[in-house]
Amino acid sequence: MLKSKLHEVRIRKGLSQEQVAHLVGMTQSNYSRKERGTTKIFKREWILLAKKLEVTLEDIYEEELIIVINTDKQSSQKNDFETVDVKIPQIFNRLHRNAKGKEQTVRRRK
From first CA to last CA, the distance across the chain in angstroms is 19
Domain boundaries, the chain: 4-60, 73-109
What are 41-100's pLDDT values in tens digits? 999 999 999 999 999 999 999 876 656 666 555 555 555 555 554 444 444 544 544 444
Using pLDDT thresholds of 50, 70 and 90, give the confidence band for residue 38. Answer: confident
Asked whether the predicted pLDDT for residue 107 surpasses 80, the reply is: no
Total residues belonging to the chain:
110
Is the CATH code 1.10.10.10 the one for domain 4-60?
no
